């Protein structure tokens, strides 16, 4: 069975998130445990975890994904930023475990004024400090678009991190279709080759989560601008450069089944998104 959902709000705790996902026709979903731009977090006892898990069990939602906040930068050369990244990642691992998720998606980090090698070593050192043999969720390093000095723009960069982590079994990959496209991979005409390359370099066993997004950019632009899944009746001005057909083929590719597929496509306005329509399309309904 296809595991498909979207990013949903945690304003109503896990129960509210599960209900929102269910309203879109989803059977999985992704949440942030708090605002992605800051360290403010509600206590776990206020997140309606028990009620949320009961709703999920009753309505067939599972394999949920947690996304770590953007402010975690394990590649930073600034010591205070680096210490915050390690401490906050450890906290997010605790919260991910409490929420019952096996996946914590993490942007690897940006080396800013240093070098790729420096940033990679910092990420490895930080993960080695935070991860233990008892860590339950898998840290899913996200494929990145390649803008600025961010790390993770190619499979080799992610492989270098994974190889350096002591508990490498606790580290996997989240593939973002917009980011892959923007970093230069041909996922439109040659996804077979891309997934074969991933398997050769990293290994399909490390592929844990997909982010399904269109892109406003041409391939290789390195800009990271998400788009809805092509032009539709609801969104006739859709400017997705990847295309609905290509994204449908990716979601249904035989080599990537069994992973959660999570939409992060833009909202049309503050109150309107296309998650229900996009989920239905990807399900073939």
Separation between Cα atoms, residue 134 and residue 116, nearest integer Å: 30
Give 80-83 contacts, CB < 8 A, sequence gap 24+: 82/122, 82/126
Is 107 labelled as part of a ligand binding site?
Answer: yes
Is 193 labelled as part of a ligand binding site?
Answer: no
Q: At 227, is the secondary structure helix, strand, or coil?
A: strand
Separation between Cα atoms, residue 32 and residue 262, nearest integer Å: 13
Separation between Cα atoms, residue 174 and residue 143, nearest integer Å: 6
Separation between Cα atoms, residue 181 and residue 224, nearest integer Å: 9
Separation between Cα atoms, residue 164 and residue 184, nearest integer Å: 25
Is 102 labelled as part of a ligand binding site?
Answer: no
* 171 DSSP 8-state letter: E
Is 129 labelled as part of a ligand binding site?
Answer: no
Separation between Cα atoms, residue 206 and residue 140, nearest integer Å: 9
Is 181 labelled as part of a ligand binding site?
Answer: no
End-to-end CA distance of the chain: 14
Is 156 labelled as part of a ligand binding site?
Answer: no
For tokens 């304003």, the residue is 11
Is 142 labelled as part of a ligand binding site?
Answer: yes
List, in sequence order, every residue forming a beta bridge with 29; answer none if it has no partner: 6
Annotation: binding site: 67, 107, 142, 176, 179, 211, 224, 226, 264
Residues making up the binding site for Zn(2+):
67, 107, 142, 176, 179, 211, 224, 226, 264
């Amino acid at each position: 069975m296809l595991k498909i959902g979207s990013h949903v709000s945690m304003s109503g705790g896990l129960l509210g998130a599960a209900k929102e996902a269910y309203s879109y026709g989803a059977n999985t979903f992704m949440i942030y445990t708090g605002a992605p731009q800051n360290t403010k977090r509600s206590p776990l006892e206020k997140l309606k975890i028990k009620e949320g898990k009961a709703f999920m069990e009753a309505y067939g939602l599972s394999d949920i994904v947690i996304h770590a906040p953007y402010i975690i930068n394990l590649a930073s050369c600034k010591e205070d930023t680096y210490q915050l990244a390690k401490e906050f990642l450890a906290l997010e691992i605790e919260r991910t475990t409490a929420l019952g998720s096996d996946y914590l998606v993490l942007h690897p980090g940006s080396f800013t004024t240093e070098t790729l090698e420096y940033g990679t070593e910092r990420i490895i050192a930080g993960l080695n400090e935070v991860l233990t043999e008892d860590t339950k969720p898998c840290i899913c390093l996200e494929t990145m678009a390649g803008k600025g000095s961010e790390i993770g723009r190619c499979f080799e960069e992610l492989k270098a991190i994974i190889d350096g982590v002591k508990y490498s079994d606790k580290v996997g990959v989240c593939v973002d279709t917009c980011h892959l496209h923007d970093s230069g991979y041909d996922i439109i005409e040659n996804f077979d080759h891309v997934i074969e390359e991933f398997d050769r370099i990293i290994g399909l066993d490390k592929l844990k989560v997909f982010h399904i997004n269109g892109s406003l950019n041409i391939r290789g632009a390195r800009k990271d601008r998400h788009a809805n899944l092509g032009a539709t009746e609801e969104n006739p001005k859709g400017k997705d450069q990847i295309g609905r057909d290509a994204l449908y083929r990716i979601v249904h590719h035989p080599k990537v089944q069994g992973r959660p597929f999570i939409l992060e496509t833009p909202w049309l306005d503050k109150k309107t998104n296309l998650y229900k329509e996009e989920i239905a399309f990807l399900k073939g309904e």
